Amino acid sequence: MSSTITPPGPRADRDSMPLTNPQLPALAPWLAGVIAFGLAALTGLLLGWGWVGTAVLGWLLLLVVLPVWSLLVEGERRAKDRFVTTLVWSAFGLAMIPLVALIYQVVSKGAAVLSAEFLTYSMRGILGEGGGIYHALIGTFIVTTCATIMSVPIGVMAAIYLVEYGKGKKLARWITFLVDVMTGIPSIVAGLFAFALFTLIFGPAIRFGFGGAVALSVLMIPIVVRATEEMLKLVPDELREASYALGVPKWRTIVKVVLPTALGGIVTGVTLAIARVAGETAPLLIIAGTTTSTNFNPFEGRMMTLPVFIYSSVTTGGKYAAENEARAWGAALVLVAIVMILNLVARVIGRVFAPKTGR
Amino acid sequence: MAKSIDVSDLDIYYGDFLAVQGVNMTIKARSVTAFIGPSGCGKSTVLRSLNRMHEVIPGARVEGKVVVDGQSLYGAGVDPVAVRRQIGMVFQRPNPFPTMSIYDNVLAGNKLNAKRMKKSEADSIVERSLKGANLWNEVKDRLNKPGMSLSGGQQQRLCIARAIAVEPQVLLMDEPCSALDPISTAAIEDLIHELKSDYTIVIVTHNMQQAARVSDDTGFFNLKATGEPGHLVEFNPTSKMFTQPDEESTEAYISGRFG
């Protein structure tokens, strides 16, 4: 232990302080891409490959060209960075392909059918051309609204119990577990559940819109519970304590302090849950059934919904298969648009209700 | 207004863990009492047990007696909500309600309890409380702005205004200045001096100079040893505490020779 550590003497290269390094121009990735895909196109043309083979070859060439160029100019670290960056961008592009393709497909095939008549007429008495999705729109609206009215209070209150009252209790742990299980329930099982339930009550072969709403709320409740639970957990305990310290009872603290603070997130979660169940097909097929006419009464008679309309239009076949398929694409476009609008609304609401800092 | 607090043989638990043991003291009415001591020795825990905020934490419980104005806080039939209406609290970090304006924050204690009052009455409570918390001149022109738009020191004074708006008998302060700059700290210390004439104030602080400046009595808390519960080492008038304390360890802590 007697040996002392001598501090390292001044190194010879200490005098210079290199901070600059040769760099590729900012356009380098694009240039490399042009070169790689140009080469690939040439090869593809010469060998008579399809465009898929050409694209794959171009991509592989890009993975080689850019890092090698970078290695020669910029050094090893930058070359690795270029390589991984290319991989990440490729993965992003790959992930975007199905999304863009889907939207393109739906818009290109569905836009042609869209018209005032398509949105305001039902399919009553129509076989070939004409007709519309009015009955399905109304059905989706009524069924989803009923499901929301049932699920939101149950879901929000269950979440309030879990976060505010049940912390660490056995019952709360069981509920959390069951909610997780419910999130994974296949939607067709929810439909069967509603069907069995109402068959027990009203006798066999019962079909009505409210049954569909019950099936959808079975799917919706766990989503609402989860979203609300996460939002309530985000409300800092300091706010609850501040309220308690003012002599405010617990229930008033929850209603007037905790819920308003979390409102933006809760509304966003609920809206996303609506968007999620609005596109459900299987349970509605079982319990809400299909029909060609508009039905405003969820408690009486079959009720058409958009997803079921799409399904039955595509599967009908027969003499008017082409017209039916065109209408199915139109309905698909409307459904995608509704879900997209709901998502946008959720974002706007989240922003509007977020606690204001005033800065 | 303003009551004295008698604490006798107070043991405070978190679940099975005994956090603070055997506290005895008398907190005088219309005076400032400071709790000092190293981190984790139970000052805040004792403070929170004085208005039954301790039991908000799941599993937390208290044994012993806390008597305010002849009534035991932990007696049968005592409503913790009623206790907290009489014994207000200001926290370490300013915590105005983010969904409310400055005006509504001050009235929170009344509004959250759905107390009905006239506009003029509400206005006068807001003005009186904000003046009491030395904040009126800074915010009187923007009472409808969100409470979160204020600076940290202003937010803390807003929280004090909110606490005194419900006119409690006792005001508990848990390190109210630890997140504030010296100027805001001075403002709050001045405020404590003014509030002393109407309220019984108990303040937890890590700042020995602050304890010496604002308090009439001081309690020194410490751990017996690592892993042992905290306890009250010494409780004396501040002037005595900072000049000739009874206990060796108090002097060591105050003079910075703390091991």
**Chain A contact for B153 (CB, 8 A cutoff):** no
Nearest CA in chain B to A248: B113
pLDDT at A337 over 90: yes
Question: Residues A165, A166, A171, CA angle at the centre, nearest 5°?
Answer: 145
* CB-based contact B112 A243, cutoff 8 Å: yes
* CB-based contact A244 B163, cutoff 8 Å: no
Per-residue pLDDT tens for B152-187?
Answer: 888 988 998 999 898 888 999 998 888 778 888 888
CA distances from A92 to A103, A351, B100, B242 (A): 17, 27, 42, 67
Nearest CA in chain A to B142: A358
Residues of B in contact with A246 (CB under 8 A): 84-85, 88, 108-109, 112-113, 162-163, 166
Q: Which two tokens stand for residue B87?
A: 């014994």
ipTM, 2 decimals?
0.87
Predicted confidence band of residue A122 (pLDDT cuts 50, 70, 90): confident
Per-residue pLDDT tens for A160-208?
Answer: 999 999 888 899 999 999 999 999 999 999 999 999 999 999 888 888 8
Query: What is the spatial distance between Cα A128 and Cα A110, in angstroms, rounded to a whole number?
Result: 17
* CB-based contact A246 B58, cutoff 8 Å: no
Q: Is the backbone of residue B167 left (phi > 0), alpha (psi -120 to 50) or beta?
A: left
**Chain A contact for B58 (CB, 8 A cutoff):** yes
Q: Which two tokens stand for residue A78?
A: 């930058």
pLDDT at A2 over 80: no
Residue B177: what pLDDT?
A: 86
Residues 6+ apart with CB under 8 A from A150: A213, A214, A217
Predicted confidence band of residue A97 (pLDDT cuts 50, 70, 90): very high
Residue A93: what pLDDT?
A: 92
* CB-based contact A242 B95, cutoff 8 Å: yes
Ranges of residues in chain B with a pLDDT under 50 are 259
Q: What is the distance in angstroms between the Cα of A325 and the nearest Cα belonging to chain B?
A: 50
What value does the mean pLDDT of chain A take?
A: 88
Q: Are B109 and A247 in contact (CB under 8 A)?
A: yes
Name the one residue in this structure whose structure tokens are 């209150």: A157
Residue A8: what pLDDT?
A: 58
Whether the model clears a pTM of 0.90, i.e. scores above it, the answer is no
Residue B77: what pLDDT?
A: 87
Per-residue pLDDT tens for A230-289?
Answer: 999 999 988 999 999 998 999 999 999 999 999 888 998 999 899 889 989 999 999 888
The continuous run of DSSP H or E covering B189 comes out as helix B182-195
Residue B153: what pLDDT?
A: 85
Residue A307: what pLDDT?
A: 93
Per-residue pLDDT tens for A69-84?
Answer: 889 888 889 899 999 9
Residue A13: what pLDDT?
A: 60
Number of H helices, E strands in chain A: 14, 0
* CB-based contact B95 A257, cutoff 8 Å: no
Among A168, A241, A260, the residue with its CB nearest the CB of B56 is: A241
Question: A122: closest CA among A284, A279, A291?
Answer: A291
pLDDT at A65 over 80: yes
**Chain A contact for B109 (CB, 8 A cutoff):** yes
Hey, how many other C-beta atoms are within 10 angstroms of the C-beta on A304? 29
Predicted confidence band of residue A5 (pLDDT cuts 50, 70, 90): low
Residue B259: what pLDDT?
A: 47
Hey, how many other C-beta atoms are within 10 angstroms of the C-beta on A167? 11
Residues of A in contact with B91 (CB under 8 A): 238, 241-242, 245
Residue of B127 and A352 predicted with greater confidence = B127
Residue % of chain A over a pLDDT of 70: 95
Residue A1: what pLDDT?
A: 46
Q: Residue A344: exposed, middle, or buried by beta-carbon count in 10 A (0-12, 13-18, 19+)?
A: exposed
pLDDT at A7 over 80: no
**Chain A contact for B27 (CB, 8 A cutoff):** no
